């Protein structure tokens, strides 16, 4: 079954955020747009490049009213240690959620059970806590935060413009479509 249009799982976890440990719950996520970026493990290779790329676009996400949450099955203590020792991770200012029990990772159905690690999953959640975009990569394939910015803008446009849809590779300001009988077979 697809996770699209499903509510995020309930959770309450510890996070490392701006030099502090905090509790973050599924209820904290609701009320604004959110991105969950799951990654296999701290102190690895592709993961820091992805999280650093997300940080480079974090200001743009914030302007769009989107909070970013990175998630791995490591503990919040490991997140802090990684933040303290990695040049790439030391730049991160969004919450790093610890999911050592795998509750969130299993809730998004991306747990690699044999390794107790997540696949590379990126999810866009609307303010009601419902998944609107899901993208899952194999472990060796890194993601692009820049393309996620485009997807956020498209999802927000569709949410605010009932009856309109965004065509492939749509960018903000470009024409959208209004599905109707008149368009059938003409695109």
Query: Could you list the active site residues?
Result: 47
Residue with tokens 């499903």: 6
Candidates 138, 132, 175, 136; CA nearest to 151 is: 132
pTM: 0.95
Whether 186 has a pLDDT exceeding 80, the answer reads no
pLDDT tens figures, 78-131:
999 999 999 999 999 999 999 999 999 999 999 999 999 999 999 999 999 999
pLDDT tens figures, 61-73:
999 999 999 999 9
Which has the higher per-residue pLDDT, 187 or 26? 26
pLDDT tens figures, 152-165:
999 999 999 999 99
Which tokens is 166 given?
């965004």
DSSP state letters, the chain: ---TTPBPPP-EEEEEETTEEEEEEHHHHTTSEEEEEE-S-SS-SHHHHHHHHHHHTHHHHHHTTEEEEEEESS-HHHHHHHHHH-TTGGG--S-EEE-TT-HHHHHTT-EETTTTEE-EEEEEE-TTSBEEEEEEE-TT----HHHHHHHHHHHHHHHHSTT-B--TT--TTS--B---GGGTTT-
| List of domains in the chain | 12-143 (3.40.30.10)
């Amino acid at each position: 079954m697809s996770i699209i249009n499903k509510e995020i799982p309930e959770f309450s976890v510890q996070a490392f955020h701006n030099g502090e440990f905090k509790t973050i719950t599924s209820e904290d996520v609701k009320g604004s747009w959110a991105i969950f970026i799951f990654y296999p493990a701290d102190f690895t290779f592709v993961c820091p490049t992805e999280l650093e790329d997300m940080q480079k676009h974090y200001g743009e996400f914030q302007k769009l009213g989107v909070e970013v949450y990175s998630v791995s099955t490591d503990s919040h203590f490991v997140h802090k240690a990684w933040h303290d020792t990695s040049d790439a991770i030391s730049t991160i200012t969004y919450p790093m959620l610890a999911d050592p029990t795998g509750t969130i990772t299993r809730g998004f159905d991306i747990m690699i059970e044999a390794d107790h690690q997540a696949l590379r999953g990126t999810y866009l959640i609307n303010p009601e806590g419902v998944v609107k975009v899901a993208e899952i990569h194999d472990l060796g394939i890194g993601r692009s935060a820049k393309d996620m910015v485009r997807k956020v803008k498209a999802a927000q446009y569709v949410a605010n413009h009932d009856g309109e849809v965004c065509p492939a590779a749509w960018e903000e300001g470009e024409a959208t479509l209004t599905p109707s009988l008149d368009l059938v077979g003409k695109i």
